[in-house]
Amino acid sequence: MGRQKPGKPRRPRKNIPRQYSLQELQPPGNAYTEWIRVQPGMDPSHIKDPAIQGDALDLMHRMAKLGPFYDHNLPMAALLLDTVIDTGHLPVLEGPVTDGTAKLIPIQDIAAARPEFSPDDIRESIHRLHAAAALLVVTDDEHDVTFVRFVVKKPERPGERWGLVGDPDLAASTVCMPTEIWDKLPLDVAAAVCYIRSCNAKLEEPDPAVYGAHEGVNGTAHARELFAAARASGYVDHKGCEACPAGHLCTRTNDE
């Protein structure tokens, strides 16, 4: 039982940091003020009550479908995101709602990067990225519009600040991220680029075992595949400008 071979030192265990849930990290915005606990195994197809029809029944089907992606603790943001996916485009903000410019990314472009993925696979991938805090949902309540913003710097623990693409006051120590990755790469590969660059900025080796434990990543082998695709894309080593070391925020392109 756990005997150590003579002359062979015991391998030290890695201290894997705790992975906090999306709710624990307290995302900003009205879309994250309401959370719904979804019963595991919920199946609205058995509902025969004539009073529960139309929008109410559709909502329950969405809750049942999305619950497993969010460990059965569903933010209202997830339901908003799901209805946005129905439109066939992701409206991505490149700054705050008040002055940001929205860019419509066709869902079919995401699907084209993964021809083996079905529409349901693409929907699931987007939700898993949301659950893993690679993107957030923001709302313009005045005009009743929903947008997506990509995360540059995810908090490591509750109470820390979120860094979103286009924030004008991000600290200089924030990791440099080439913003075009969200247009050019599959979302899961772009998220892996962000993780690797974040590790590089802290002079740490990207650990597939740690990344494999993230929500939306299916273990160490899948993490290694995503790391390989991220490095092959060229964006892991991409520099937006000549003054762009590992810890410098730069969203410029080589043409600017």
Q: What are 113-168's pLDDT values in tens digits?
A: 667 778 888 898 889 889 988 899 999 888 788 999 988 778 888 888 888 877 76
106 band by pLDDT with thresholds 50, 70 and 90: confident
Residue 256 pLDDT: 42
Cβ atoms 40, 23 nearer than 8 A: no
Which DSSP helix (H) or strand (E) runs through 85?
A: helix 76-86
> Ranked by mean pLDDT, which of 63-67, 167-171, 182-186 comes out on top?
63-67
d(CA 221, CA 138): 33
Q: Is 146 helix (H, G, I), strand (E, B) or coil?
A: strand
Judge whether residue 202 has pLDDT over 70.
no
pLDDT for the residue numbered 240: 61
pTM of this structure: 0.65
The candidate with the shortest Cα–Cα distance to 187, out of 133, 234, 238, 145, is: 133
Sign of the alpha-carbon torsion through 31, 34, 38, 43? negative
- Predicted confidence (pLDDT) per residue in 1-49, tens digit: 445 555 555 555 555 567 788 999 999 999 999 999 998 887 766 666 5
